[in-house]
Every structure is written in structure tokens, then in C-alpha cells.
A and B are shown apart, each in its own frame.
Chain A
Amino acid sequence: MALNIEDIKRIAHLARIEINEQEAASTLTKLSGILGLIEQMQAVNTEGIVPMSHSQDLAQRLREDVVTEVNQRETFQAIAPMTEHGLYLVPKVIE
């Protein structure tokens, strides 16, 4: 699959990463290289093999449903840029 410069800009936009033309060009080269590697891997026959979803062959450990956290709002909000009435403030968002 061949990427073009427009794909790079779209991906950057979706990821909310600002890139200039020069960075876009170098990112295109790097990403294309990664996709090339994936193409090579796709040539391997994987029939009958369950896709790996984690690098460790272990099962998820479960936690008992017991409250262990206490209110630390003051501590957390001390480093927040803006707060009011206990809320974190961000530039206005509209649906």
C-alpha cells in the first residue's frame, strides 16, 4: 500500500499533531518504510494461527470490586492550568 503526502497530513490531523511540509515529507519516507516491512511480514503464511493481542502469553488478572481510592482532588488540581468549582477548565467545546 503506497502512501501519499495527503495521507500523512490526514493522519497527523486525526492525531492532532502539527507538522510542516518538510516534516510531512520525511514522515512519508519513514512511514512508507514501516509499511514496506509489514508487506514483507504479510507474505508469511499465518493460516490457523490465532492473532496475538499481547506480547505475553498470560491472562488478565481481575481486581475485587472494592473502593481503594480516596479523594485527591486538591492534589491533582494544584497542577491543573485552570479549575473552578472543582471542575477542570478547558477552552469551550461545542457539539
Chain B
Amino acid sequence: MEWEVVIGLETHTQLKTNTKIFSGASTTYGAEPNTQACEVSIALPGVLPVLNKQAVECAIQFGLAIDAEIAPRSVFARKNYFYPDLPKGYQISQYELPVVGKGKLTIQVPAGKHSEAYEKTIHITRAHLEEDAGKSVHGAVEGMSGIDLNRAGTPLLEIVTEPDMRSAAEAVAYAKKLHELVQWIGICDGNMQEGSFRCDVNVSVRPKGTEKLGTRREIKNLNSFKFMQQAIEYETQWQIDTLEDGGKIQQATVLFNPDTGETRAMRSKEEANDYRYFPDPDLLPLIVTEEDKARVKATMPELPEAMKARFEADYGLSAYDAAALTASRDMADYFVAAVQAGAEAKPAANWVMGTLSAKLNAEEKAIADSPVSAQQLAQLLKRIQDNTISNNAAKQVFEALWLAEGEVDEIIASKGLKQESDSGAIEAIIDGVLAANPAMVEEFKAGKEKAFNALVGQAMKASKGKANPAQVNEILKKKLT
């Protein structure tokens, strides 16, 4: 039987705020345990939550970015469960009335072994504001668990999709796109190691061609795209094998073990959790007006889709190039800076996606930390454009720029890379080449086109690569005919 996998994602994005969602305690990462845990964070009796304006604005920004309905009125609810890192005994979240409703995100799925690259729209069910829990530290003291409540109360936006994805590749493409988007609009730092962006993946399988969803298992807390890919592939195969062996899938929460590459069900609780959600009487409904939305919208950067369309229209870039350049805001910013500094758009796009990206990848550097600035790249491209240097020489200049050996024109001068464009000098070189290679000249005159190219090569060599190839071609042609 042929099987189809059905995947939905829940992503917790930590919002980029100075303070917690319901108190004025700092959210700075990596502080000494419990030094950023105020009365509200540790849930002393009688404390009251006061909602952070910035967290609300982050949620509105996200809603606008995915073209979603933003609820004019949303409600905070208590999700009740017991765990030591949740001292109140409940998490403040949103349940029936989330701040962000239905939206969508277009993803680019890269070409695979058996498939071409394609685009797909993923529907987002909702996004809601909630607080993070604290952290449990095991093993510090024998027989005890240590609780650090610095993270308790950190604002999160939980983003939930419809079960729209049909492969691990689509799920990863969605997660990457979302990861870029939240950084692009500046609501999340995207740091996966520090847990700022964590994904839970719901996976089920069904016979291909059927409608009814299979029983799902939820893979918790994936914090790398590579692990996500591996976990989904393993889980999908495990479910198919189980069903083909006549077994049944039990709904469960599973964890991925990166060392074995396997998923394993967490010990099932004796009693299923019943969160007993109800509206939190400590918080009034959150009202978002049209004016609030307009005000937030005015502060937002141009979105990747809009920028992509603009690159195609204004710069004549292909859809592929425009999509690649807008894959991250830093890359798009770099490209725009190079063009504004006077580079022509197409060569700038080629250099950013080609030589620069390759070098950055090789040295595992982010484009924001590129040793070659956008302005330097623009200057380099101008020198190719005005025939000062050849493309080959430009690569050498680029390497020198990377090593901070100076500015473009200094490097061209110090390395003697300037192209010879003086036709008198080139003519002298060509005369020398013709005199030294009478056999080639004869061959050309006998109709062998290849001999012409060989003569060009000789002339370039004689000029130590500095002669302008177009000029060499032209002068040589004139002399031979």
C-alpha cells in the first residue's frame, strides 16, 4: 500500500522584549539562576499580572505579516497543570479567543532526489500569546531537582498550522520560512540553541488517496532543522511499519534522540492531562483597534514577498534570484546596500549569491559579519564595469578585500591588476605573438577557427592576463584579415 504522511507544526517563538509578558523583570538570557525572577515570576500570593505592550505589538506584527485576522478582542485563559517549574499551578495562555486568527505562509520547497523545487501555501490556524515556564536542572544535587525561574514568564507566541504538510521536506521548509520571517520582522532573535524558536511536530500517516486522518504522535521540542528532518523521517517510517505489521498507533508524545536518530514515546502518564482551561480573572480582555493595527503596520519593514516582487520589477531579476536574495533580511539588506552604492543589480545579485555566499559558507560566517562590505563589493563591481579589471582579477581583489588588505583601488594598484586598455600597447603585444607563432597564423588562414582562440590565449598570456580580452579579439581580427 502507498502511504501519505500528514504533518502539522506548533512553534513556540520567544518574543524579543526587554521584560516578561506579565511583569517588569528582565528577560536577558544567561543570567545567574533566579536573579531575574520577581514576585510575579515566582508566583507569590497576591501578585497580579500586567500585560506587556511590546509583546502584544509583536503578535500584531506577526498577524499582519501572515495576512491574518487579528482579533479585536482576545482573552487570556489559565491552562492548569502541576509541575515544579510552573509555580502558579497554571500557565497563562489564550484558548478560545487567540489574538491572531487564520493566516497563511508561502513556502519554497527545494528540489529533492526525485522532485523539482516548488511553492506551497501553508495555512496557519492561529497564533496566541502565552508565558514560558521555568527550567528544571537535574543532577546538581543528589535526589533533588533545581528550579530556575528566570525564564518563567518570558513572552511566547505559539504559532499553530493546519495539517497541511506532506513530507519532512515541506515541514522543514515551513519551519525555515517561519524562522526567517519572525527574524525579518524583528519579533524573535531566532536563536535555536537558546530555545528562542522551538517546534513540536504532529505526524500521522494514512493510505494515499484517503481523507480520514490517522492517529497522530507529537514529536516535542525540536530545536534544529536537521533533527526535525531526521525525526519526521524516522517517525513516518515507524508508523508505516507498525500499521503494515497489523499494529495500531496510540496517540502519544514522543522525544527525538539525536544520538540514535530514533523517536521514542515518553512514559505515558497514568492519567491523561485535563488542562481545565478557563478565562483568567486577573486579566481583562485584550482589545486591538484598527488604529493599533495601523500604528504597528507603519513601523514594520517591507515584507520578503513584497521585496521579492520589487526586485523582479525594479531590477529585472529572475524569480529565482529574487527569492534567493530575500531568503534572509540580512542578505536582502546587503544586496540593496550594494546597489545603492552604485553596483549594477544583476552582477551584484550574482556576486552576493555566488562568490560571497560561497566564501561565507566556507568560513561559517553570517552575511552581517562579512569582512567585505556591500560598499566595497559595489566599488569592485564598478571597476569590472568600467573595464579597469577583468573578472578573474576581480576574484583576486575580492580575496584581498576579505583579508582586509585595503580598499579596492589600492589593491588593484598594489597587485598590478589593472587591465591593459591602451590599444598601442596591446597592438605591440599582438605583433610579437604573431611573429612568434607563424604556424598558428597559417592554420587560421587555412580556415581553422580554433587557431584564432589559441592566438588570443597567447596574447593574454604575454600580457600576464592584463590585456582587455575584448580589445585583444578586436585588434587580432583586424590584423589577420
Query: Provided the pairs A53-B75, A64-B53, A86-B33 are in contact, do residues A58 and B146 lie with their beta carbons within 8 angstroms?
Result: no
Sorted nearest first, the 7 A-B pairs with minimum C-beta distance are: A87-B146, A68-B24, A65-B54, A62-B53, A86-B33, A69-B38, A59-B287
Contact B146 A85 (CB under 8 A): yes
- By a CB distance below 8 angstroms, the chain B residues around A90 are 84, 144-145, 147
The count of A-to-B residue pairs whose CB atoms sit within 8 angstroms is 130
Residues of B within 8 Å of A62, CB to CB, are 50-53, 56
Cβ-closest chain B residue relative to A52: B279
Cα A66 to Cα B37 in complex, Å, equals 15
CA–CA, A37 and B6, complex, Å: 44
CB neighbours (8 Å) of A16 from chain B are: 82
Out of B18, B140, B143, name the residue touching A66 (CB < 8 Å): B18
Question: In the complex, which residue of chain B has the Cβ closest to the Cβ of A95?
Answer: B266
Flag if A69 contacts B145 (CB, 8 Å): no
Task: Looking at the assembled complex, report how far the CB atom of A43 sits from the nearest CB atom of chain B, in whole angstroms.
Answer: 22
| Smallest Cβ-Cβ distance to B81: which chain A residue | A14
Q: Which of B25-56 contact A (CB under 8 A)?
A: 25-26, 32-39, 42, 44, 50-56
A44 lies within 8 A of chain B by Cβ = no
User: Does A78 lie at the interface of the complex (its beta carbon under 8 Å from any beta carbon of B)?
Assistant: no
Q: Taking A14-B276, A59-B284, A92-B143 as contacts, is the C-beta distance between A66 and B266 under 8 angstroms?
A: no
What are 25 A-B contacts defined by CB distance under 8 Å? A14-B271, A53-B285, A59-B284, A59-B287, A60-B51, A60-B287, A61-B50, A61-B51, A62-B51, A62-B52, A64-B54, A65-B54, A67-B19, A67-B25, A68-B24, A76-B39, A84-B144, A85-B140, A87-B33, A87-B140, A88-B149, A89-B144, A92-B143, A93-B136, A93-B138
The yes or no answer to B478 lying at the interface (CB within 8 A) is no
- Do most interface residues of chain B lie in helix, strand or loop, or is the interface mixed? loop
Q: Which residues of the other chain, A, contact B281 by a CB distance below 8 angstroms?
A: 54-55
Asked whether A63 lies within 8 Å of B284 as measured between CB atoms, the reply is no
B141 near A89: Cβ-Cβ < 8 Å: yes
Using a CB-CB cutoff of 8 Å, which residues 14-50 of chain A contact chain B?
A: 14, 16
- Interface positions of A (Cβ within 8 A of B): 10, 13-14, 16, 53-56, 58-69, 71-73, 76-77, 82, 84-95
Cα distance A72–B35 in the bound complex, in angstroms: 7
For this complex, into which size category does the number of interface residues on chain B fall? 35 or more
A65 and B19 contact, CB distance less than 8 A: yes
Q: Which of B354-370 contact A (CB under 8 A)?
A: none
- A66 x B34 contact (CB < 8 A): no
Name the contact of B137 in the complex, choosing from A14, A60, A87 (C-beta under 8 A): A87
Residues of B within 8 A of A94 (CB): 138
Known: A67-B24, A93-B84. A59 touches B286 (CB 8 A): yes
The answer to whether B267 has its CB under 8 Å from any CB of chain A is yes
Bound-state CA distance A93–B147 (Å) is 11
Q: A88 vs B42: C-alpha distance in the bound complex, in angstroms?
A: 10
**Chain A residues with CB under 8 A of B36:** 69, 71
Cα A61 to Cα B34 with chains together (Å): 27
Q: Is B274 an interface residue, CB under 8 A from the partner?
A: yes
B-chain residues with CB within 8 Å of residue A92 when the two chains form the complex: 138, 143-145
B271 engages A13 (CB within 8 Å): yes
